[in-house]
Structure 1
Amino acid sequence: MPASALPPNCAQDYAVLAQQQLDPATWAWLESGGADEITARANQAAYARRHLRSRVLRPLAGAHTRLNLAGLALHHPILIAPTAWHGLVHPEAESATALAAAATHTPYIVSAQSGTPIETLATLPGPPCLWFQLYAQTRREDTLALALRALAAGARALVLTVDAPVNGVRNAEQRSGFRLPDSIRSVHLQGLSPATARPVPPGGSPLFDSGLLDAAPTWDDIASLRAQLPGTPLWLKGILDPDDALMALDRQIDGIIVSNHGGRCLDTLPATLDALPGIASVVQGRVPILLDGGIRRGTDILKALALGAQAVLLGRSILHALAAGGAPAVAHLIQTLRGELEVAMALTGCRTLADISPDSLLSTDCPMRSAQPR
C-alpha cells in the first residue's frame, strides 16, 4: 500500500488492496465464481435487498456480542471459513491467519487444502481455536484417518464439506490461465489415495463414464462417520435445502453450515441468505446454524442472525485482508466487522445477539415475520 494511501476502513477497502497486490491469475482464482457467476453476485446482493428496522430508545446498558456456540464461549459471532492455499496471497500463509484468529478470539476452520499442517497451527501463540474441514476421500479410511489426525492436533470440531463432489465450472479462472505453483501443496492430502479415472469409451462422458463419481459421498457415509466419531462435534457445510437439513438432523449432525461454496460450484443456486429462512424453519433450533457467502459488512451479519443463523463465516474477505497486510490486516478486518455489527445492533435497539430476530428486519423484507396490527 502506498505510504500516502489512506488505511483500509472496511472489507471492500481490503478487496481493492488485495487486487493491487496479487497477479491477475491469482486474483481470478480468488474471486471467480461458477460459470456466469450469478450465484456469486447474488450472495452479496441478497443483503442489499433487505432493510433493517430502526428501533429507538431501547435500553443498551451492558450491550455485548458474546455467545455460546456448541459449547464454545465466543466473543462475537464471526468464524473464519475454510479456504485453500493461503500461501498464494501471503508468504506467512495459514500461520498468519491463525495468529489473527487467536488475537481476535475467532475460531478458524482450517481447510483440508491448507498448505500449512494443522499441527503447526496448533502450536502458535494464543493458541488459536481450530476446527478442521474434511472432504470425503476415495478411501473412507483416509477420511477417518484425516479426521483423527486433526483431532489429535487439537481441532475442536470437524466440518465435512458436502456440496462439491466435483469442481464447479469456473470460466473466469480458466480464462486467466491460473496454475497452482509447485511451491504450494495441500499438505493434509499428501499420501492419501486419489480418485483414479477409468478409460472413457468412445462417445462416453469424461465425468459420468470414468468412475470419478463412484466414490462420491452419500448420506450413508455421513451416518458411518458419525458412528465412528462419537462425541466429536461434526458439522455439515454446503446445506441449501430444508430437506437436506432434516436428513442431517436424522444422522445426529451437531451443526449445519448454509453455504453455496461462495458461488464457486453450481451457478444459479440461491444466495445463502435466501436459503437460510427455510432451513431455520425446519431445524427449529435443534442444532446451531452458521452461514457464509457474501458477508462484507456488520449489517450483513445482523441480517444473517435475524434470519436464523447463530454466527457467520468469512471466506474471501479474509484472503483479501491477508493479501493486503498479513496477520495484522486479518485481525483488523475481523475487529472492523465486529465494530460495524455493534453499531448496527445499537441503532436497531439490540442489546445482545439474543435480541436480534426477524423483527429486526422490515416485514416486507423478511419471510419469517409480518407486520403486527396495532
Structure 2
Amino acid sequence: MSFICVNDYEVYSKNVLPKNALDYYKSGACSQLTLRLNIDAFQRLRIRPRIMIDISNRDCSATVLGYKIKYPIGVSPTAMQKMAHPEGECANARAVGAFGSIFTLSTLSTSSIEEVAKAAPNTNKWFQLYIYKDRDVTREMVLRAEKAGFKALVLTVDASVFGTRYADVRNKFHLPAHLRLANFEGLKSNKINHAEQNSGLTEYVNKLFDSSLSWKDIKWLKDITKLPLVLKGILTPEDAIIAADLGVAAILVSNHGARQLDTVPASIEALPEIATAVGNRCEIYLDGGIRYGTDVFKALALGAKMVFVGRPAVWGLTHSGEEGVTNVLNILGREFDETLALTGCKSVSDIKKSMVVHESTYSKL
C-alpha cells in the first residue's frame, strides 16, 4: 500500500491496533457529534485563491512564542503513546524536531519528561499540564519541565472532570500492564500506585483532577513559573477575554479532540469569534480536525497563528514510529506549501481572512 495522505495512515492503524488502544485513540464523547464536526466543518469552508502572483520563492515558517518554526504545524498532547509504538512519545518528539516544529508532551504520557528531553534534545518541547487536587503534584511537574528545558506550559482547562467516552466504558479501558504513566513514577507527591493506574483511567484521573479549578488558579500557576502559559480548551470569546486579561501567552482553541463535552462546536467554528475578541493580545492556536494542508491554511486565515495535530501523529507512530510521524508531518507540510502556492501566497503573512469563507456564501447565488 502506498501511503500518500494522512487518511492512509489512519486506515492502517485501525487495522492493526488492539481494540483497547484503538478505541481510546479514535473515540470521542457520547454520540461523537463534535468528533465528526471537527472534520466536517473544514469541508464547509471554501478557499478563495488569488492568481497570477509570483510564488516561486515561498516561506512556510512562522514565529511562535519568539521561536521560529519551519511550519505552523505542531503536535498536540496525546496520552499513552507507547500503546501505538514501543518508543512512544520519544519517537514522536524526535520526528517533530526533524520537521522543525513544536512537540507537546502529555502529562499522561508513557515516557517521562526526562526521557523525552533526553531522546529529543533539539526539539522545541512544550509540556501539557493539569492542575491537580494536590497542588504539590502540579508544582513538581512544573519544576521538572523547567529543569528539562521545556519551553512552555500548556494548561488543559476543559477537563475539571473526565468526559464520557462510550467505547472506553464498554472496553473498561485501562493502561496495558507492561506500561506506566511515566510522569507519576517516583513523584514525591504521588499517593497513587501502579495498581491503581491500571484499575481504569477514569477512576485514576478523577482521583487527581480538581473540579474546583477556577481562574484564580491561573494566577497561582503564573506565580510559580517563568515559562509562557498556553491555555488549551477555550471555545468562547468570553473565556478568551478573561484569559487575555490574566496575561497568558497564548490560547489553544480546542475541544479536547471532541473527547470531553459532546455537541460543542468544532474548533474551527469557534476560532473566528475568539480571534476577533482577543485580537493581538495573545497568540492563538488551534487543534481538532486538521487532516490536510488546506485545513492548516483555513485555520491561519481565520485567526490561528499555528495548528496542532494529535491523532494524525499517533497514526504515523503506529505505522513506523519516528519515520511514520515524520512522513505524516511532511505530508501536511507539503500540502500546506502547495496551498500557499495555489492561493497566491508567498508566506503565512500573505494569508488573509477574506481568502476563506463559509460554503453558504456560494449557496446563496
When normalised by structure 1's length, the TM-score is 0.89
**Matched-pair identity in %:** 38
Instruction: Specify the SS of the correspondent of 2:168.
Output: helix
Work out whether 1:310 is the aligned partner of 2:288. Answer: no
Does the 8 Å CA contact 2:301/2:352 hold for their aligned counterparts? yes
Q: Which residue is equivalent to 1:244?
A: 239
Matched position secondary structure for 1:123: helix
Q: Does 1:106 align with 2:101?
A: yes
Structure 1 position 225 matched with structure 2 position 213:
no
1:90 to 67, 85, 88: 85
Could you say which structure has the higher helix fraction? 2
When the two chains are superposed, the root-mean-square deviation of aligned CA atoms in Å is: 2.1
Q: C-alpha displacement at 1:126, in angstroms?
A: 5.5
What secondary structure, in the 3-state scheme, does the structure 2 residue paired with 1:12 have? helix
Indicate whether 1:216 and 2:212 are aligned: yes
Say if 2:131 and 2:210, in contact at 8 Å, map to a contact too: no
Residues in 2 aligned to 1:109 and 1:183: alpha-carbon distance in whole angstroms: 24
Deviations 1:90-110 (A, max 9, x none): 111111111111211121011
**Match for residue 56 of structure 1?**
51
Q: Is the 8 A contact 1:103 1:126 kept in 2?
A: no
**Match 2:356 to one of 361, 365, 369:** 361
- Equivalent position SS for 1:113: coil
Aligned 8 A contact 1:226 1:251 in 2: no
Alignment-mate amino acid for residue 219 of structure 2:
A
**What is the letter of the counterpart of residue 322 of structure 2?**
A
Q: CA deviation at 1:192?
A: 6.2
Partner amino acid for 2:247? Q
Which moved further from structure 2: 41-50 or 126-135?
126-135
**Contact 1:53 1:360 (8 Å CA) reproduced:** yes
User: In structure 2, what is the equivalent of residue 201 of structure 1?
Assistant: none
Equivalent positions of 1:331-342 (< 5 A) are: 331-342=326-337
**Counterparts of 1:214 and 1:358, CA distance in 2:** 38
Residue type at the aligned position of 2:273: G
Judged with a 3 Å threshold, the aligned counterparts in structure 2 of structure 1 residues 177 and 143 are, in CA distance, closer, same or farther, namely closer
Matched, 1:146 2:141: yes
Cα separation, 2, equivalents of 1:261 and 1:214: 17
**In structure 1, C-alpha distance between the alignment counterparts of 2:166 and 2:358, rounded to whole Å:** 38
For these two proteins, the number of residue pairs brought into alignment is: 349
1:206-235: CA deviation from partner (whole Å, max 9, x where unpaired)? x9xx99886531100001111222x42111
Equivalence map 1:149-298=2 (5 Å): 149-190=144-185, 191=187, 216-229=212-225, 231-298=226-293
CA distance in 1, matches of 2:22, 2:340: 34
Report the equivalent of 1:118.
113
Task: Return the alpha-carbon distance in structure 2 between the equivalents of residues 41 and 146 of structure 1.
Answer: 34
What is the CA distance between 1:194 and its match in structure 2?
6.8
Deviates more, 1:184-193 or 1:235-244: 184-193
Shift of 1:24: 1.9
Which deviates more, 153-162 or 173-182?
173-182
CA 1:125–1:275: 2 relative to 1, 3 Å: closer
CA contact (8 A) 1:138 1:193 kept: no
Q: Following the alignment from structure 1 to structure 2, what is the Cα–Cα distance between the partners of residues 192 and 260?
A: 32
CA distance in 2: counterparts of 1:293 and 1:95, whole angstroms = 22
Stretch deviating more after TM superposition (288-297 or 166-175): 166-175
Which blocks of at least 5 consecutive residues in structure 2 are unaligned? 193-202
Q: Residue 163 of structure 1 contacts residue 238 of structure 1 at CA under 8 Å; is this kept in 2?
A: yes
Q: Describe the shift of the 1:213–1:117 C-alpha distance in structure 2 as closer, same or farther (beyond 3 A).
A: closer
Greater mean alpha carbon deviation, residues 292-301 or residues 183-192: 183-192
* CA distance in 2: counterparts of 1:211 and 1:120, whole angstroms: 25
The range that moved more, 117-126 or 16-25, is: 117-126
Q: 1:126 to 1:105 in 2, by over 3 A?
A: farther
Q: What SS is found at the alignment partner of 2:158?
A: coil
TM-score, normalised relative to structure 2: 0.91
Equivalent pair of 1:43/1:272 in contact (CA under 8 Å)? yes
| Counterparts of 1:123 and 1:213, CA distance in 2 | 28
Q: 1:8-19 residue pairs with structure 2 within 5 A?
A: 8-19=3-14
CA change 1:20–1:364 in 2 (3 A) is closer
Gaps of 5+ in 1: 1-5, 197-206
Q: What is the aligned counterpart of 1:330 among 312, 325, 330?
A: 325
